[in-house]
């Protein structure tokens, strides 16, 4: 991000306070975190200065990219690839009676996620990567703190959806959001749990890994499907 782009992003999100924060960080390395509280969000959100957090904040909490109006009140929501928790927070405010499970593999992102969702007792953060088998995987950066990709290897706990549902005490997932930078191919290929999902929102990453769309559409066969921007929606209801 150029200096000019940075100024525009921070001013757009936080006004002069944002300009002061990014200017001070460039000069002195502080503040490392800035807090914001957009309309409709009950508690402040903490963002790491000079990271992709501000871009994610803009898309999710200002533009409401993942907001969805369901024809029922969801009891269970699962956020896969939760990053620092902004989509989780959006759903926690939109659906305060739902149990929300947020899974994120990257250490720094998970720490920020835990801090951001702490005021929400209905949110359960899980430090792991969703995968096609239990065990371990490696985490590879493909675009900084925002875009990290799960791949074969070790260093991070990996769990299947069946394991996740068992550990979280979930029978049925009313809303499943997935943004995993290409790992959706492994997650949805030959999956045996889509009959337990009512609505799926996924960002497909065939640009990173060909076959992602084919795997997800195969798993969601029979679901109604539509596109909105970079997101694909599947509904069984």
User: Residue 123's domain is classified under what CATH number?
Assistant: 3.40.50.150
Segment 33-55 shows an average pLDDT of 91
Number of separate domains in the chain: 2
Least confident of 29-33, 70-74, 187-191, 220-224: 29-33
Q: What local confidence, expressed as pLDDT, does residue 1 receive?
A: 52
Same domain, 114 and 80: yes
Nearest to 166 by CA among 201, 126, 202, 136: 126
- The yes-or-no verdict on residue 106 having pLDDT over 90 is yes
Same domain, 80 and 153: yes
Same domain, 22 and 3: yes
Same domain, 132 and 214: yes
Question: Which two tokens mark 31?
Answer: 């503040």
Same domain, 39 and 91: no
**pLDDT tens-digit profile of 144-193?**
555 678 888 999 999 999 999 999 999 999 999 999 999 999 999 989 99
- The yes-or-no verdict on residue 27 having pLDDT over 80 is no
Same domain, 73 and 57: no
Give the domain-ending residue among 19, 34, 64.
64
Q: Which domain holds residue 59?
A: 1-64
Measure the CA–CA gap between 23 and 6, rounded to whole angstroms.
Answer: 10
Same domain, 13 and 116: no
pLDDT class of 228 with cuts at 50, 70, 90: very high
Measure the CA–CA gap between 37 and 14, rounded to whole angstroms.
Answer: 10
Same domain, 43 and 97: no
Give the domain-ending residue among 64, 81, 108.
64
Give the domain-ending residue among 17, 32, 64.
64
């Amino acid at each position: 991000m150029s200096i000019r782009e940075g100024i525009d992003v921070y001013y757009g999100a936080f006004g002069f306070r944002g300009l002061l924060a990014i200017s001070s960080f460039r000069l002195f390395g502080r503040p490392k975190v800035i807090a914001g509280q957009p309309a409709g969000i009950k508690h402040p959100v903490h963002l790491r200065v000079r990271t992709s957090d501000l871009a994610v904040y803009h898309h999710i909490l200002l533009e409401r990219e993942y907001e969805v109006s369901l024809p029922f009140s969801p009891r269970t929501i699962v956020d896969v690839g939760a990053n620092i928790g902004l989509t989780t927070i959006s759903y926690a405010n939109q659906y305060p009676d739902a149990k929300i499970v947020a899974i994120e593999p990257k250490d720094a992102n998970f720490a920020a996620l835990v801090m951001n969702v702490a005021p929400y007792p209905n949110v359960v953060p899980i430090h792991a990567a969703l995968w096609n088998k239990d065990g371990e995987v490696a985490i590879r950066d493909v675009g900084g703190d925002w875009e990290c990709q799960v791949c074969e290897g070790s260093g991070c706990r990996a769990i299947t959806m069946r394991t996740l549902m068992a550990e979280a005490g979930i029978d049925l997932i009313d809303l499943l959001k997935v943004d995993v930078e290409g790992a959706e191919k492994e997650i949805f290929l030959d999956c045996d749990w889509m009959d337990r999902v009512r609505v799926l929102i996924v960002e497909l990453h065939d640009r990173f890994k060909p076959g992602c769309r084919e795997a997800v559409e195969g798993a969601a066969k029979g679901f109604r499907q539509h596109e909105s921007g970079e997101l694909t929606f599947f509904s069984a209801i």
